Chain A
Amino acid sequence: MRPLTEEETKAMFEKLSKYIGENIKLLVDRPDGTYCFRLHHDRVYYMSEKILKLATNFSRDKLISVGTCFGKFTKTKKFRLHITALDFLAPYAKFKVWVKPGAEQSFLYGNHVLKSGLGRITENTMQYQGVVVYSMADVPLGFGVAAKTTQECRRVDPLTIVVFHQADVGEFIRNEDTLT
């Protein structure tokens, strides 16, 4: 386990800011305790300093996971956000998409969101903007990338993709082994 270098922190913040914008400073600087990011086996974990101090008691090969895993760095040093970060993205999300009950299951199985399944979308969403997907009952389901701007969403026909799927809570069952 080690702290992230400048480049790694930058890459991660870039990725996070696509979904939560400038609210990242609320993650970095929290009023209820000191929280930090640490890198372990190419995965980034977010934890309180208490947990960090406890985790130092484990050897590297025996330590599986600490705190919450936000994502991992791929072999080419790109940062990939995992579904496990949803709990921290959802409350600070800038652009949200609500999905109709019928299309919820489709999204949870890993499919993209079509116009027919779109319930609501935040105004002024840009194309390829990172969005957090909610069900109509305001339950966060995952996150993705907006395929069309809000304006375009109004005009397109019902079978076009409006949100590209990136991660959903169904992955907790589908990709159990790779989530740590």
Chain B
Amino acid sequence: MAACSVEELLAKAEQEEAEKLKTISVQKELDLDFDVGNLLACDKNRIESKDFKEQNKEDFLRSLARDNTQLLINEIWKVPTERVEEAIVAKLPEPTTRLPREKPPPKPKPPTKWEQFAKLKGIQKKKKTNLVWDETRVAKNEFNRLKNVARSQKIKTPGVGLLPRAKQSKDELSKAVSVAKTSTASVGRFQDRLPKEKPPKNAGKRRKFEPLIGDFSSEKHKQLELLKVMDSKRPKLDITKAVNKQMREEDREEAASRKKGGKGGAARRPKGKGAKGKGGKAGGGKRRGKPGKR
């Protein structure tokens, strides 16, 4: 009994194995064309029309699709795989099928204004090389290098101001002129200037200033002296004020003399005195310390 059942079991297991393999392996007359990159499988096998008509159409198509899909999956398994977050992922190769254009091809752009113009004039695009052999530049580089060397090593160099060059700039020429002018016995004091030539701007040496924290008392003293000089220079008598005052005085006297005929003398005199007194005091105050007209 047990033996029978064991044999039965074994037979059943074998059958199942065979079935499993059968499902995985598929027999085809012609091998399929695979484009694993696009997950594409092309089946060129002929379909017998009688197969199609005999069986149930749906079943036939389903089984055909299943077989081809199985073959495609087999192909995918052949490709190297890797594990990404607990899922096995196959690295697909590049697709081999050439796909047609998705969108229509671009229309030719209308030429820009410049392009039209260039075509009209026959201008061609010329590429300028930016590396040009310049002898003067090379010479200047060399000179600067030697100067740097001399400076770093603290070697004394003769004073050289101007480099002879093929094309001198305006500054260099003016500098050359000023150097030539001052290279006389009297350091250029009696050299004539051209009619429209302007005198040089920075003629003197660098300015020297007092130290930041010098002698405070001497600084104060100098400033007070300066203030005294300024005060003395200011006119003590304000001309316009004096003139105006004088004019007012004259007007007042005239008005007073005109009224003399109408009014009595006694009423006028204190008024006159008071007015004169005020004028006098104000005049003195004015003359004393008020700032002059500026």
- Are A and B subunits of one complex? yes
Number of interface residues of B (CB under 8 A): 23
Asked if residues A17 and B224 are in contact (CB atoms below 8 Å), the reply is: no
Contact between B213 and A24 (Cβ–Cβ < 8 Å)? no
Task: Using A3-B214, A29-B220, A124-B286 as known contacts, say yes or no to A18 and B226 having CB atoms under 8 A apart.
Answer: no
B234 nearest in chain A by CB position: A17
Within 8 A of A (CB), among B190-238: 209-214, 216, 219-220, 223-224, 226-227, 230-231, 238
Known A6-B226, A10-B230, A94-B291: A1·B212 in contact at CB below 8 Å: yes
CB distance from A126 to the nearest CB of B (A): 6
Cα–Cα distance between A71 and B261 once the two chains are bound (Å): 61
- Mark contacts of B276-294 with chain A using CB atoms, 8 A cut-off: 1 yes-contact digit, 0 otherwise: 0000000000100111011
Q: Is the CB of B213 within 8 A of A56?
A: yes
List A contacts of B227 (CB < 8 A). 13, 22, 24-25, 28
Which B residue sits closest to A10, measured CB to CB? Answer: B226
CB contact between B209 and one of A3, A10, A34, A52 (< 8 Å): that residue: A3
Size bracket of the A interface: 20 to 34
> Please, which residues of chain B bring their CB within 8 A of the CB of A13?
223, 226-227, 230
CB-defined interface of B93-107 with A at 8 Å, one 1/0 digit per residue?
000000000000000
A116 interface residue per 8 A CB criterion: no
Q: How far is the CB of B117 from chain A (nearest CB, A)?
A: 46
How far apart are the CA atoms of A21 and B286 in the complex, in Å? 14
Which of B216, B241, B286 contacts A36, CB < 8 Å?
B216
Least Cβ–Cβ distance between A57 and chain B, in angstroms: 12
User: Are B219 and A3 within 8 A (Cβ)?
Assistant: yes
Given A36-B219, A124-B290: A3 and B212 interface contact (C-beta under 8 Å):
yes
The residue that B220 contacts in the complex, of A1, A28, A124, A128, with Cβ under 8 A, is A28
Contact present for A28 and B223 (CB under 8 Å): yes
Are A53 and B213 neighbours in the complex by a CB distance under 8 Å?
A: yes
Complex: A124 Cα to B286 Cα, angstroms: 9
Nearest to A5 among chain B residues (CB) is B209
* Distance of A34 Cα from B226 Cα, bound (Å): 18
Complex formed: what's the CA distance from A81 to B219 in Å? 22
Residues of A within 8 A of B231 (CB): 22
Complex Cα gap A126–B238 (Å): 10
- Is residue A155 within 8 Å, beta carbon to beta carbon, of the partner chain? no
Residue among B210, B224, B226 making CB contact with A3, cutoff 8 Å: B210
Q: Does A75 contact B (CB under 8 A)?
A: no
Instruction: List chain B residues, Cβ under 8 A from A3.
Output: 209-212, 214, 219
Within 8 A of B (CB), among A52-79: 52-53, 56
Residues of B within 8 A of A28 (CB): 220, 223-224, 227
The reply to whether the CB of A38 lies closer than 8 angstroms to some CB of chain B is yes
A6-19 toward B: CB 8 Å interface, digit per residue (1/0)? Answer: 10011001100110
CB distance from B31 to the nearest CB of A (A): 81
- Is A154's beta carbon under 8 Å from chain B? no
Q: In whole angstroms, how far apart are the Cα atoms of A2 and B212 in the complex?
A: 5
A49 at the interface (CB under 8 A from B): yes
A2 touches B224 (CB 8 A): no
Chain A residue at minimum C-beta to C-beta distance from B291:
A21
Chain A residues near B216 (CB-CB < 8 A): 34, 36, 49
Chain A residue nearest to B209 in the complex (CB): A2
Q: Which residues of A are found within 8 Å of B213, using beta-carbon distances? A: 49, 52-53, 56
Among A17, A18, A38, the most chain B Cβ lie within 10 Å of the Cβ of A17
Residues of chain B contacted by A9 (CB below 8 angstroms): 223, 226
* Distance to closest chain B CB from A35 (angstroms): 9
Which residues between 72 and 120 of chain A lie within 8 Å of chain B, taking CB atoms? 94
What CA separation (Å) do A6 and B209 show in the bound complex?
Answer: 10
CB distance from B144 to the nearest CB of A (A): 28
5 contacts between A and B (CB under 8 A): A3-B209, A3-B210, A3-B214, A18-B291, A22-B227
Seed contacts A3-B219, A13-B226, A126-B238; 9 additional CB < 8 Å A-B pairs? A5-B209, A10-B226, A25-B224, A34-B220, A49-B213, A52-B212, A52-B213, A94-B291, A124-B290
The 7 A-B residue pairs whose C-beta atoms are closest, nearest first, are A2-B209, A3-B210, A34-B216, A28-B223, A21-B291, A25-B227, A29-B220
